[in-house]
């Protein structure tokens, strides 16, 4: 046809007789975060025995990455009597799963939805006088409320100067039949270590708030202040209930109590190569091999929550041994130097897992990344498959 440019014919590529096939088993072994339910159950038993308090299992942030509902179930099996969430959507998730234990929600990141709370049969913690007023104005039925006092964090909770106004409004609303004040809550700033001395001002402030509530006739109240670190180390913070998040999944920020790690992250080797000395590995070539070695690649990267910058000690377990992570962690991949050993594609690596095996712990990963174990575990991304055992 006139005006039409002929498309040159490209030479055909000869077809390989057999293309590369994934090693058997690779397909079923995608990167996976395994929840050990029994570990959660055991941790709750340990914490109950040590504190003598009722336990609220805080299953926020998708149960610290391990699954809101399965972590909640495992905690209830261990004797937790309450469940705590930041978001009412999580409360609804628990109800839809058929869990009937009392639930408290305290953050309302999308704004407080009083109707949703009633629908999800969930108690609301109010951290502003204004929020309490909203509950009064919008209550579709009797709303159960916990008064959240700021006991030293300035990150939520009613500031101390406004406690009298809070109590007055709470009493009036309760008398008016809009709500029932069932709990008094505070939170302590020293959540990452054992430090009774530094807890003391928060404990004292909470006691002041409690006396004030009682003087307004707001009694009985379920009192709860301490989280994992305080609960395990400082009896003064225990009151009637302790709110346990990190401790459920085996993280004791106070490093005083033997808890069981509930999370194990595994991934198959997706690529393996033998390289000579002087090979630059990964983006920026930040690691150069000093001798001929074998490399294994895992399909996990910073988008999956693994930190991009790690100390040179960072390692994973493959074949029952520890091998170092080398070069920068990429978006979807990380490279492991396995020295003289060549692992076939599909070999399963454990990135972190319980203590007492060759696999590193989340605590070690946190140290390598200069952060806390919560960030590592709760930060594992949503495309990593979850399983429950
Ligand atoms: C996360 C959280 C907890 C649980 O804290 P851990 O240190 O993880 O046990 C308790 N209370 C509040 C208000 C929280 O936000």
pLDDT average, residue stretch 198-202? 95
Q: Which atom of ligand 1 is nearest to the CA of 187?
A: 13
Q: Helices marked H in 176-307 — which ranges?
A: 196-215, 228-233
- Which protein residues touch ligand 1 with a CB less than 6 Å away? 58, 60, 106, 187, 191, 227-229, 243-247
Question: What is the predicted pLDDT for the residue at 75?
Answer: 99
pLDDT in tens, 29-82: 899 999 999 999 999 999 999 999 999 999 999 999 999 999 999 999 999 999
Q: Which atom of ligand 1 is nearest to the CA of 251?
A: 8
Q: Which long-range contacts (CB under 8 A, 24 or more apart) does 141-145 make?
A: 142/177, 142/178, 142/179, 142/180, 143/114, 143/117, 143/118, 143/178, 143/179, 143/180, 144/179, 144/180, 144/182, 145/170, 145/179, 145/180, 145/181, 145/182, 145/183
The domain over range 17-33+261-388 is classified in CATH as 3.40.30.10: no
Please give the DSSP secondary-structure letter assigned to residue 158: B
Tokens describing residue 262: 């509930």
Report how far ligand 1's centroid is from the alpha carbon of 359 (Å): 27
241 among annotated binding-site residues: no
d(CA 189, CA 167): 24
Cβ atoms of residues 379 and 65 within 8 Å: yes
Nearest CA to ligand 1 atom 13: 187
Question: What is the predicted pLDDT for the residue at 307?
Answer: 96
Cβ atoms of residues 64 and 277 within 8 Å: no
Catalytic residue among 30, 34, 54, 60: 60
Question: What is the predicted pLDDT for the residue at 6?
Answer: 61
- Residue 28 confidence (pLDDT) above 70: no
pLDDT average, residue stretch 230-237? 96
Tokens describing residue 59: 């299953």
Question: What is the predicted pLDDT for the residue at 106?
Answer: 97
Q: Which atom of ligand 1 is nearest to the CA of 248?
A: 9
d(CA 22, CA 43): 39
Report how far ligand 1's centroid is from the alpha carbon of 114 (Å): 22
Instruction: Identify which of 156, 191, 241, 366 to mutate to test ligand 1's pocket (most ligand atoms within 8 A of the CB).
Output: 191
Higher pLDDT, 193 or 17: 193
Report how far ligand 1's centroid is from the alpha carbon of 89 (Å): 18
Q: Is the peptide bond before 220 cis (omega within 30 degrees of 0)?
A: yes
SS3 105: strand
Q: Which atom of ligand 1 is nearest to the CA of 156?
A: 13
Q: How far is CA 57 from the centre of its chain?
A: 12
Question: What is the predicted pLDDT for the residue at 365?
Answer: 98
Tokens describing residue 234: 């400082």
Nearest CA to ligand 1 atom 6: 245
Question: What is the predicted pLDDT for the residue at 113?
Answer: 95
Report how far ligand 1's centroid is from the alpha carbon of 304 (Å): 23
CATH 3.20.20.10: which residues of the chain?
37-249
Report how far ligand 1's centroid is from the alpha carbon of 85 (Å): 9
Question: What is the predicted pLDDT for the residue at 12?
Answer: 54
pLDDT average, residue stretch 141-168? 96
Active site residue 122: no
Report how far ligand 1's centroid is from the alpha carbon of 249 (Å): 13
Cβ atoms of residues 233 and 194 within 8 Å: yes
pLDDT in tens, 105-135: 999 898 999 999 999 999 999 999 999 999 9
Report how far ligand 1's centroid is from the alpha carbon of 196 (Å): 17
Cβ atoms of residues 343 and 253 within 8 Å: no
d(CA 261, CA 278): 38
Instruction: Identify which of 243, 249, 252, 263 to mutate to test ligand 1's pocket (most ligand atoms within 8 A of the CB).
Output: 243
Which residue, 100, 108, 143, 144, is CA-closest to 127? 108
CATH 2.40.37.10: which residues of the chain?
17-33+261-388
Please give the DSSP secondary-structure letter assigned to residue 237: G
What global pTM score does this model have? Answer: 0.92
Catalytic residue among 283, 309, 385, 389: 283
pLDDT average, residue stretch 310-324? 97
Active site residue 261: no
The domain over range 37-249 is classified in CATH as 3.20.20.10: yes
Place of tokens 């050993």: 341
Q: Is 115 left (phi over 0), alpha (psi -120 to 50) or beta?
A: alpha
Q: What is the CA radius of gyration of the chain?
A: 26
Question: What is the predicted pLDDT for the residue at 192?
Answer: 78
Q: How far is CA 162 from the centre of its chain?
A: 32
d(CA 312, CA 325): 7
155 among annotated binding-site residues: yes
d(CA 7, CA 261): 62
Q: Which atom of ligand 1 is nearest to the CA of 231?
A: 9
- Residue 139 confidence (pLDDT) above 60: yes
Phi, psi (rounded to 5 degrees) for 282? 80, 180
Question: Crossing angle, helix 88-96 and helix 68-77, to 10 degrees?
Answer: 70
Nearest CA to ligand 1 atom 4: 245
Element (H, E) at 35: strand 32-35
Task: Please provide the average confidence, as pLDDT, over all residues in the chain.
Answer: 93
Q: Which atom of ligand 1 is nearest to the CA of 374?
A: 8
């Amino acid at each position: 046809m006139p005006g039409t440019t002929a498309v040159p014919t490209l030479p055909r590529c000869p077809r390989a007789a057999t293309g590369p096939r994934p090693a058997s088993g690779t397909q079923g072994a995608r990167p996976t975060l395994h929840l050990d339910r029994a570990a959660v159950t055991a941790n709750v038993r340990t914490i109950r025995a040590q504190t003598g308090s009722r336990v609220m299992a805080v299953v926020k942030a998708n149960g610290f990455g391990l699954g809101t509902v399965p972590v909640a179930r495992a905690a209830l099996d261990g004797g937790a009597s309450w469940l705590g969430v930041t978001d009412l959507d999580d409360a609804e998730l628990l109800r839809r799963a058929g869990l009937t234990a009392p639930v408290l929600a305290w953050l309302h990141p999308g704004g407080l939805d009083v109707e949703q709370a009633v629908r999800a049969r969930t108690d609301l913690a109010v951290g502003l006088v204004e929020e309490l007023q909203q509950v009064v104005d919008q209550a579709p039925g009797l709303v159960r409320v916990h008064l959240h006092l700021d006991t030293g964090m300035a990150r939520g909770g009613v500031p101390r100067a406004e406690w009298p106004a809070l109590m007055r409004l709470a009493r009036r609303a309760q008398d008016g039949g809009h709500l029932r004040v069932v709990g008094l809550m505070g939170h302590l700033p020293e959540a990452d270590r054992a430090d009774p001395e530094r807890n003391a001002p928060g404990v004292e402030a909470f006691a002041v708030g409690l006396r004030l509530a009682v003087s307004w006739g707001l009694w009985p109240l379920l009192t709860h202040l301490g989280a994992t670190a305080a609960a395990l180390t400082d009896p003064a913070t225990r009151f009637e209930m302790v709110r346990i998040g990190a401790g459920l999944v085996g993280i004791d920020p106070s490093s005083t109590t033997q808890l069981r790690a509930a999370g194990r992250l595994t991934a198959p080797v997706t690529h393996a190569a033998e390289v000579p000395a002087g090979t630059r590995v990964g983006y920026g070539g930040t690691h150069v091999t000093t001798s001929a070695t074998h490399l294994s690649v895992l399909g996990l990267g910073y988008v999956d929550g693994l930190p991009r910058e790690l100390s040179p000690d960072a390692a994973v377990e493959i074949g029952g041994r520890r091998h170092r992570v080398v070069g920068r962690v990429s978006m979807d991949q990380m490279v492991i130097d396995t020295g003289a050993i060549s692992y076939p594609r599909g070999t399963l690596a454990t990135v972190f897992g319980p203590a007492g095996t060759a696999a590193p712990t989340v605590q070690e990963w946190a140290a390598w990344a200069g952060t806390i174990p919560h960030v590592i575990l709760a930060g594992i991304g949503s495309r990593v498959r979850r399983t429950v055992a």
